[in-house]
């Protein structure tokens, strides 16, 4: 049965049309309102036009990570092919317009939920590049009305540090564990939003709070936290933001957002052990910073 769903994330909306598979992660973001700015529309189709392409970029994050192959259409626009893991069949093939405002997705049946979710994530990141939004690879908690983002390379303990806050810092709530949306507001302030994408931890909350701080987590045999100067804060945020490669044409928008965020958001680096002391040290520093 053909459907059309409208979703609102971080104050913007996107539309999904066609025979939509069951996706419980999207349900908290369903809306009937159309007053929020439209970022993009995605239609599920039975076929895509046969247009010549040239290879543009393929991700290579190693075992355990999805593979995304991006091609350039000879007539303009983009083709994406997404695989859940290296060596697995293509789960979806997407044709997107030059500005990523509209796209069509062909599902192969290999993993429909993966294909739809990853296509939506890609379109969200690229279509919002000039709107002050950043998809972040981060775990984020809320405490006393503010959001705290924990950044770091895969396996460095972002989720572990969030769990330590949940256990040892009263009043803490998990907002998102993998892909929150960081937004630079028109007045120069920053907010963090939950999203329909949260990695291996199902945490899909249509909530948002002002940003209290951003903390990069590094494993160490001790606990120490320090605030980063502006240039290092910029580099820290950029390293955990989605979308910087390979679309250089969108870089101006992302860099403008980063510059604004580093002016208003305190950024720290926490060298730490995975223990209560690290969580208390981090909380006491960033909450009073």
- pLDDT (tens digit, 9 = 90+) per residue, 83-113? 999 999 999 999 999 999 999 999 999 999 9
Question: Looking up tokens 């949260």, which residue turns up?
Answer: 198
Task: Name the average pLDDT for the chain.
Answer: 95
User: What would you report as the CA-atom Rg of the chain, rounded to the nearest whole angstrom?
Assistant: 19
Structural domains in the chain plus CATH codes: 3-128 (no CATH), 134-287 (3.90.228.20)
* pLDDT above 70 (res 245): no
Query: What pLDDT sits at residue 249?
Result: 78
Q: What is the dihedral of CA 215, 217, 221, 223, to 10 degrees?
A: 10
Query: 105 Cβ partners below 8 Å, 6+ apart?
Result: 18, 42, 43, 44, 45, 92, 93, 94, 95, 115, 116, 119
22-64: pLDDT as tens digits: 999 999 999 999 999 999 999 999 999 899 999 999 998 888 8
Query: 109 Cβ partners below 8 Å, 6+ apart?
Result: none
What is the average per-residue pLDDT within 152-167?
93
What is the average per-residue pLDDT within 123-130?
94
Phi, psi (degrees; rounded to nearest 5) at 112: -65, -40
Q: How far is CA 162 from the centre of its chain?
A: 17
Are 116 and 23 in contact by the 8 Å Cβ rule? The answer is yes
What pTM did the predictor assign? 0.95
What is the average per-residue pLDDT within 100-129?
96
In angstroms, rounded to a whole number, what is the distance separating the alpha carbons of residues 211 and 191? 5
| Residue 203: pLDDT band with limits 50, 70, 90 | very high
Q: How far is CA 191 from the centre of its chain?
A: 14
Among candidates 192, 269, 278, which has minimal Cα distance to 233? Answer: 269
Query: What pLDDT sits at residue 20?
Result: 94
* pLDDT above 90 (res 153): no
Are 103 and 97 in contact by the 8 Å Cβ rule? The answer is yes
Query: What pLDDT sits at residue 244?
Result: 60
């Amino acid at each position: 049965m053909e459907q059309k769903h409208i979703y609102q994330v971080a104050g913007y909306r996107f539309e999904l049309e066609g025979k939509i598979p069951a996706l419980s992660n999207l349900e908290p973001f369903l809306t009937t309102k159309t007053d929020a700015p439209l970022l993009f529309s995605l239609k599920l189709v039975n076929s895509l036009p046969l247009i010549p392409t040239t290879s543009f970029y393929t991700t290579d994050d190693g075992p355990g990570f999805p593979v995304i192959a991006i091609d350039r259409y000879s007539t303009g626009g983009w083709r994406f092919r997404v695989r859940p893991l290296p060596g697995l069949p293509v789960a979806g093939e997407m044709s997107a317009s030059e500005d990523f405002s509209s796209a069509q997705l062909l599902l192969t049946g290999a993993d429909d939920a993966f294909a739809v979710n990853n296509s939506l994530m890609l379109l969200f990141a690229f279509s919002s590049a000039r709107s002050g939004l950043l998809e972040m690879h981060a775990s984020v908690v809320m405490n006393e009305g503010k959001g705290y983002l924990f950044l770091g390379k895969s396996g460095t303990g972002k989720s572990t540090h969030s769990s330590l806050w949940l256990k040892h810092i009263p009043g803490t709530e998990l907002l998102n564990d993998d892909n929150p949306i960081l937004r630079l507001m028109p007045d120069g302030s920053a907010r963090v939003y939950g999203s329909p994408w949260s990695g291996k931890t199902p945490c899909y909350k249509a909530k948002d709070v002002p940003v209290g701080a951003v903390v990069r987590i590094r494993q160490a045999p001790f606990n120490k936290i320090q605030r980063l100067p502006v240039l290092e804060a910029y580099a820290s945020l950029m390293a955990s933001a989605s979308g910087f490669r390979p679309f250089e044409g969108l870089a101006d928008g992302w860099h403008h957002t980063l510059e604004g965020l580093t002016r208003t958001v305190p950024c720290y680096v926490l060298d730490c052990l995975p223990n209560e002391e690290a969580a208390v040290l981090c909380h006491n520093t960033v909450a009073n910073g």
